[in-house]
Structure 1
């Protein structure tokens, strides 16, 4: 699903139930502990108070920076993202599925359908040394140079390059573990309200206990998979493309099982049952 479609779905649901008020054009700059409440201070000199603040403001979070002092590190990869109309590629598409991966040395390309099979989500990864970045700055919304993208994949087969040539020069972004985050957070808050307890922190710790290991695993395995897709992983370096293929298949065929097969409702309910018994 396209992120904008998902946001519209959530927003329409919230408005239809009158469940919350959306304030736009607000930038939180500081949190202040005022006892049993938190004061949020904004860049426009306004403020608000809340029982709970959820800092979901991205990798450069001003909320998170008050509690954690680490800095994001460059992953060694640049990602180009875009959307292509499936209608535009149907006349020359050569495969039975629109969910395809192309792999190669130091780069790989993923495509898959979204928006009821109307759009093809295109994600192109290229390994680039940090010393080669120049003044390039990390951003989810930087506009890519399409000639540069196509040139990076000039050794890939014609259908892959043709898709890249159709990508528009405007930014796109995706979502992942945040959906699980929101779901488990919602369940924890629901149980807190049902319990008529004043210990909100205990239920937030339950959320942290369940979500942190899973989110960390997603980050770790994604990085490992990126190395495998680009034939950089242990045991792949120095081998030819054909020599890497059997090992690549073995490493990737079950990679997502833990995401799809682990039941997060069962995991949460086990933890919540233990808490209710305390």
Structure 2
């Protein structure tokens, strides 16, 4: 049987895993279910704990070229637009943490990871392979695909997201719990953004929802993500299109700049907010999970992609150290990553709740609420331990 790792899922987590393994001289094959490997037009944040890892994998120049180092990061009040600085997420983050805080187009990051993987192994990524079964064999692992093909290796990583087929085979699929919010997202050209908002990453908070916005793709595009409370939701997909009119109705009474940005989204997409139980055990034999497949989280701390990248690097380091004792490598990987990812998931949900409070309805009570809950010392408590973590330095 081949001495390689099979990665199921060609998203950011799967490609980061492949790149981290190839970077350390370990063979890998990536299997992605869709025939055309493209990331949708959405944004993400790369905080210092993520950027330092991508830099170490050789992507610094591309990330600095395509990512945006925001002039400021601000907390904003939903109706008045009053602003409070968030010091650790702006242009000073590199000085503070040793790596920058950048905003990125998800497609840009995906493309550079894919290109870097193919540069090291031209045929590493196979598309049109929908995984239907995985199992441990007497000499390694086997993956079966809907197209009738099989693949064998020494280990297998399920990096196939919240609807993970690998998790289904290992543990079954827990029923996600709808938590009463929906998200809206969209991308618009920067020239259609009000001047005040263009060079700033901002989080707007209100009694019933919140908005996060920032520039991406060299500052040429602007990413909008808004959350509003909805008692019921009907689907668990994040590619359902809506209308500008619907989105504007959900943000009635918000600041004119928010409403202007919404009105210029070509196609707003919407999806429900679901709580996925974090898997208590990731691995069985030589098969394990990574990223959203085992620790999905809301976007309130901007850590989904960063946690998957951390997972990838720690996994690759464990493989490098403990191969050919593959199960020992997976045991170390899981023991190192589970406590951290659980804490980030828990803090992400806490941050989601913190952004919605009735005190924010009135500007006077809002100022008191924000002064109390977003004091610089508290903001530091939320983020410092996340941003200071270096997956290349933890003991494996």
Q: TM-score range by the shorter chain?
A: 0.7 to 0.9
- The answer as to 2:320 corresponding to 1:205 is no
- The answer as to 2:224 corresponding to 1:108 is no
Aligned residues: 255
Task: Please report the TM-score for the alignment, with normalisation by the length of structure 2.
Answer: 0.59
- C-alpha separation in 2, matches of 1:142 and 1:168: 14
Q: Taking structure 1 as reference, are residues 61 and 78 closer, same or farther at Cα in structure 2, changes over 3 Å only?
A: same
Aligned mate of 2:155, from 49, 52, 59:
52
Q: Check whether the contact 1:228–1:248 (CA below 8 A) recurs between aligned residues.
A: no
Q: 1:262: how far off?
A: 3.0
Match of 1:275 in 2: none
Counterparts of residues 196-235 of structure 1 (less than 5 Å)? 197-231=323-357
Match of 2:129 in 1: 26
Q: Taking structure 1 as reference, are residues 201 and 246 closer, same or farther at Cα in structure 2, changes over 3 Å only?
A: farther
- In proportion to residue count, which structure has more strand? 2
Query: Unpaired segments of 5 or more residues in structure 2?
Result: 1-103, 272-303
Match of 1:175 in 2: 305
Structure (1 or 2) with the larger CA radius of gyration? 1
- C-alpha separation in 2, matches of 1:81 and 1:51: 40
Match of 1:276 in 2: none
Q: 1:49: how far off?
A: 1.1
Q: Taking structure 1 as reference, are residues 116 and 190 closer, same or farther at Cα in structure 2, changes over 3 Å only?
A: farther
Task: Please report the TM-score for the alignment, with normalisation by the length of structure 1.
Answer: 0.83
Secondary structure at the aligned position of 1:263 is classed as coil
Secondary structure at the aligned position of 2:129 is classed as coil
Q: 1:82: how far off?
A: 1.4
Secondary structure at the aligned position of 1:167 is classed as coil
Q: 1:30: how far off?
A: 0.7
Q: Taking structure 1 as reference, are residues 22 and 106 closer, same or farther at Cα in structure 2, changes over 3 Å only?
A: same
Larger RCO: 1 or 2 (CA < 8 Å, sep 6+):
2
User: How large is the Cα RMSD of the aligned pairs?
Assistant: 2.4
- The answer as to 2:146 corresponding to 1:146 is no
Q: Check whether the contact 1:3–1:175 (CA below 8 A) recurs between aligned residues.
A: no
Deviations 1:133-180 (Å, cap 9, x if unpaired)? 2xx201122212321111111111100111111122155998342122
Secondary structure at the aligned position of 1:75 is classed as strand
- C-alpha separation in 2, matches of 1:250 and 1:53: 47
- C-alpha separation in 1, matches of 2:132 and 2:364: 52
Q: Check whether the contact 1:14–1:20 (CA below 8 A) recurs between aligned residues.
A: no
Q: Check whether the contact 1:104–1:241 (CA below 8 A) recurs between aligned residues.
A: no
